[in-house]
Amino acid sequence: MDGDRVEIDGGIMEGGGQILRVSTALSCLLGLPLRVRRIRAGRSQPGLRPQHLSGLEIVRDLCDGKLNGGEIGSTEITFTPGKIKGGTHIADTKTAGSVCLLMQVAMPCVLFAASPSELHLKGGTNAEMAPQIDYTVMVFKPIIEKFNFTFNCDIKRRGYYPQGGGEVVVQMSPVKELSPINLTERGTVTKIYGRAFVAGALPIKLAKDMSAAAVRCIRREIRDLYINIQPVREPDDQAVGTGSGIIIVAETSTGCLLAGSSLGKRGKNADKVGIEAAEMLLQNLKHGGTVDDSLQDQLIIFMALAKGVSRVKSGPITLHTQTAIHFAEQLTKAKFTVRKSEEEHPGNDTYIIECQGMGMINPNL
């Protein structure tokens, strides 16, 4: 540490933008000055991309912090946080950079702000290498609200690769503290639903084909459940550019939500898009966990901040999750343990992620 600056190696483990998101959010919350080196060192284009830079800038703005090294391609930044304030903040990737990833870095911070916040996040809503906004609304939101807070997410416009241009508005009020969560009972699947979408120049037939292919694929494994995947065409005034994709959610008797999703792209057969999403969903259902592989790592920072012990049963621990745990433990007093869950089917690859949270208290309330 130089003068108590926490040193983060951005090139280890998963080695991507997630290290930046977890560490800057925690730096902001805990008032810890930060230096991150070797940012995205192993990636084909190392250093900050527009997506990551926008995330750093919104956290800086949320807490009147100081950011050095904040330019595209930079592999080292220093960040000195100030006091987290509420109010209206805008982050614009000016590309198809994911608004969902902007939300990931900003949300923990605004939970502990002095007053309510409104975040205008601009970029891609349904982009590769990130959760789709439909996933954020249909799966992330209801589960994350179990930490005892609520937020509102209004999709103003959808934006796709390559130009982006989407916008979502997130509104939330601060909390005194977060409650721990206990997601250890999977239950049985009670419904399967979703949406297959096209926007711009693409015909609705593509959405119908994605939906039908996904239903056929799921039917082979799950025969006795009504599967409702709506084909939709996004209204032209609510979407920028051309895009397509699908998200399918399974809901269980204990309120678990697990999903599979996929995006269309030029030259990719619509059936293939539907089948990819269906197979991802079936894979997530097979391991017997209460959360899917996309949600796993997104829960870690909230578990670390909560007051008390959180437990989550999951499938195999992803590298993203291991990485989030590593940096959450480095920066907070939270303690994580991961153990194999043996109870029901010895063959199942399930784990219990347990966390003694640090019990973050909002100093402003």
Please, what is the angle between helix 293-305 and helix 99-111, to 10°? 20
Reported as half-sphere exposure (CB side, CA atoms, 13 A), residue 306 has a value of 23
Residue corresponding to tokens 């911070």: 109
Do the Cβ atoms of 187 and 254 come closer than 8 Å? yes
**Which residue ranges are tagged as binding site?**
104
Residue corresponding to tokens 């499938």: 315
- Bridge partner list, 311: 182, 354
Cα separation values, 3 from 33, 38, 150, 199, Å: 9, 20, 38, 52
Residues with active-site annotation: 320
71-121: per-residue pLDDT in tens?
Answer: 999 999 999 999 999 999 999 999 999 999 999 999 999 999 999 999 999
Sign of dihedral through CA atoms 20, 21, 26, 31?
positive
**Which residue ranges are tagged as binding site for ATP?**
104
322 closest CA partner among 349, 288, 351: 351
Please, what is the angle between helix 17-30 and helix 293-305, to 10°? 20
**pTM for the full predicted model:** 0.97
pLDDT in tens, the chain (365 residues): 456 899 999 999 999 999 999 999 999 999 999 999 999 999 999 999 999 999 999 999 999 999 999 999 999 999 999 999 999 999 999 999 999 999 999 999 999 999 999 999 999 999 999 999 999 999 999 999 999 999 999 999 999 999 999 999 999 999 999 999 999 999 999 999 999 999 999 999 999 999 999 999 999 999 999 999 999 999 999 999 999 999 999 999 999 999 999 999 999 999 999 999 999 999 999 999 999 999 999 999 999 999 999 999 999 999 999 999 999 999 999 999 999 998 766 667 999 999 999 999 999 99
Please give the structure tokens belonging to residue 258: 């697990």
Looking at residue 337, what DSSP letter applies? E
Type of residue found at 190: T
Residue corresponding to tokens 């979408």: 197
**Three-class SS of residue 192?**
strand
**Three-class SS of residue 353?**
strand
Q: CA–CA separation, 68 vs 209, rounded Å?
A: 49
Q: CA–CA separation, 238 vs 230, rounded Å?
A: 18
